Structure 1
Amino acid sequence: MSTNESAAALAYAKLADALRRGVYPEGTRLPGERDLAAQVGVSRMTLRQALARLAGEGQLERSAQRGWFVARRMVGEPPSVLQSFTEMARARGLRPTSRVLSTTSRPATPEEAQRLGMAEASKVLEVRRLRGLDDAPVCLDTTVLAADRAGALADADLTDRSLYEALHTLCGVTVARSSYTVQAHAVEREPARLLDLPVGAPVLVGSEVTYDTDDLPVLCGTTLYRGDAYRFQADLYRPLS
């Protein structure tokens, strides 16, 4: 290994260790190349090799005008597997967080009643939560549940807890499948503030109806994900002729 390669490998190791220890939190900008090279003890050309390697691994992102940024870790559902946000995060070694913004008992809207297969104006429980990874906001979740099946959740502490697990433990309801769609939107003012985004930034909007083991609808919901923090995966098959 040449002297330059050794220096680049050492710079990479130092920066990778700093990222792992959280010296530079997700979404933050790294110091300028001149200052960072001095901190690491290499030339700017050698530093750029290390930065490019980290970018290739998805740990860093580069903006031509603004410099280098620490990439946000992404969550995404494994193909064909239904998981709660909490389960997805923990499966990837991340710490899920959840702040309950409101819990409201109210009549269902006509659209909600249709999606949940209930009479109009039947009682529902609406739960709004801000979800995060290691305290960084990732998504804004609004869930509407049939009150006659999920009433026990009205007084439950859902902070940092999987809703699927709470449904199973407190209500005796086991989630089996979800009908799920995803669309891209520009974020509006209030969710932008909660998700720490500029107004108009891209978000992914997931809309679902979730069913139990008897194929009865349990909940319907809408989740706004930061566009830089969520990836949706699916298995696609061509029909056999």
Structure 2
Amino acid sequence: MTRRHQQIAEALRRAIADGRHPVGSALPSEAQLADAHGVSRGTVRQALAALLAEGLIGSRQGARHLVLSTAPGQSLTELRSFARWARAGGHRPGGQVLDSARGTADGEEAALLQLPPDAEVLRVLRVRTLDGEPVLLERTVYAGWIADAVEELPADCESVTQALLDSRGPVFAHGEHHLDALAAGTVDAQKLRVRRGSPLLRVRRTTATAEGRPVETADDRYRPGEVVFSVRNSTQANPLARARAD
């Protein structure tokens, strides 16, 4: 069930996205928002904290929160699925598995997933779309213990994260991300509809359960001009965020 502060945060996101609270304007005060939604100021603060983390709003001591952006970013220190991030920005997410096969882990995969040498893993190649256009190619290696659950999902599953949450309970709790750039190879170029050699932003990530058990390790490649990772220096917001390119 969606909690009250999440509902308020979503209502504020929609109000910002449709221009009711334009960039540069101040949001209503905490007291005004609490009255409008019939909740405590503590609940409002939880909702505002989510928008702060997304980079939608900023704050100054003793002043109202200011609207900074109409498109929420995703902090890489917050594990939120691509689909959830896309929907929060008003976009239609999609996905399609292009290839899926079991195999044995190589040395690097075994180390990242904390598996014995030659342990079984599931490798999945998946294209992700925003509003029907390909923007991301995922190469994910799942640990063998979660492979059955992943294989049971439909090829066009919108969100593996949410589907596993629904079927297995919380799976993803911790993540580590490494960003770099590389040139598009033949498969990248074909699936992302770019020229071979085009620059791609790559995010290599490994995620684990709350107990620290690795679930997956992935190589995510973003088409240029579609998604921007921005750095906002703040004492109140996570500094690195993902946003849709303008």
**TM-score between both structures, scaled by the size of structure 2:** 0.62
Partner residue, 1:185: 182
Partner residue, 2:108: 111
* Structure 1 residue 152: Cα displacement: 1.8
Matched, 1:140 2:151: no
Which moves more between the two structures, 127-136 or 79-88? Answer: 79-88
Choose from 65, 89, 98 the match for 1:101: 98
Matched, 1:215 2:212: yes
3-state SS of 2:134 partner: strand
Partner residue, 2:221: 224
Which moves more between the two structures, 143-152 or 187-196? Answer: 143-152
Name stretches of at least 5 consecutive residues in structure 1 with no aligned partner.
Answer: 1-73
3-state SS of 1:231 partner: strand
Q: What amino acid is the match of 1:179?
A: E
Map Cα deviations across residues 33-71 of structure 1 (whole Å, 9 max, x no partner): xxxxxxxxxxxxxxxxxxxxxxxxxxxxxxxxxxxxxxx
Choose from 154, 168, 171 the match for 2:168: 171
8 Å Cα contact 1:80-1:234 kept in structure 2: no
Partner residue, 1:25: none
Which moves more between the two structures, 149-158 or 99-108? Answer: 149-158
* Structure 1 residue 154: Cα displacement: 1.4
> What is the Cα-based RMSD across aligned positions, in Å?
2.1
3-state SS of 1:175 partner: coil
3-state SS of 1:124 partner: strand
For residues 200 and 182 of structure 2, what CA distance do their matches in structure 1 show?
5
3-state SS of 2:219 partner: strand
Partner residue, 1:9: none
**TM-score between both structures, scaled by the size of structure 1:** 0.63
* Structure 1 residue 220: Cα displacement: 0.3
Runs of 4+ deviating beyond 6 Å: none
Name stretches of at least 5 consecutive residues in structure 2 with no aligned partner.
Answer: 1-70, 236-246
* Identity fraction in percent: 30
Matched, 1:159 2:142: no
* Structure 1 residue 172: Cα displacement: 3.7
Change (3 A) 1:88 1:216: same
Change (3 A) 1:75 1:159: farther
For residues 231 and 210 of structure 1, what CA distance do their matches in structure 2 show?
21
Aligned runs of 1:20-39 on 2, under 5 Å? none
Change (3 A) 1:177 1:108: same
Map Cα deviations across residues 179-199 of structure 1 (whole Å, 9 max, x no partner): 001101111122111101011
Change (3 A) 1:142 1:76: farther
Change (3 A) 1:212 1:158: farther
Map Cα deviations across residues 48-96 of structure 1 (whole Å, 9 max, x no partner): xxxxxxxxxxxxxxxxxxxxxxxxxx98523632211111101101000
